Structure 1
Amino acid sequence: MLSGSKEALVELAHYKMPFGKYKDRYLIDIPEYYYTWFRQKGFPKGKLGMMMQQMHEIKINGLEELIYTIKKRNLR
């Protein structure tokens, strides 16, 4: 599910939530429980839903530091 391309990870690191309680927050900064709730109820369709699924996988596997490193280095 998680795309291994550098470009996809950079985009994921800089993507912000476009709606709801966590609007305008980076996906990495949204708590894991939020993604778990969406996993149970259904992720949104399209690109956002795919990115949220990827972020859920990153969080449950303890790989957040990878995304924080990308953000810190300001890779784009």
Structure 2
Amino acid sequence: MQADDLQRLLTLKMPYGKYEGRYIADLPGHYLGWFAREGFPKGEIGRLLELMYEIDHNNLRELLNPLRQASN
């Protein structure tokens, strides 16, 4: 994980697929789980999807709340 990855989860939108246009941090767990089973894409998007999957899978989404509040 890189230093700004958590912030990127809140600012990068999904570029394709069923949830195109939704922020990575707001993707549903079942969609992240699908990527975990089928394989994450290469590059930054895949790395961030994998990070968000780990956050969701370990029930740690609340860790993003302070960053959400700071960006408002």
TM-score bracket, shorter-length normalisation = 0.7 to 0.9
Q: Give TM-score, length-normalised by structure 1.
A: 0.83
Structure with larger RCO (C-alpha < 8 A, sep 6+): 1
- Structure 2: 5+ residue runs without aligned partners? none
**Stretches (4+) displaced over 2 A:** none
Q: C-alpha separation between the residues in 2 aligned to 1:13 and 1:59?
A: 14
1:34 corresponds to = 31
Q: Give TM-score, length-normalised by structure 2.
A: 0.87
- Structure 1: 5+ residue runs without aligned partners? none
Report the CA distance between 1:35 and its aligned residue.
0.8
RMSD: 1.6
Report the CA distance between 1:13 and its aligned residue.
2.1
Report the CA distance between 1:21 and its aligned residue.
0.9
Identical amino acids, percent of aligned pairs: 39
Q: C-alpha separation between the residues in 1 aligned to 2:11 and 2:42?
A: 19
1:20 corresponds to = 17
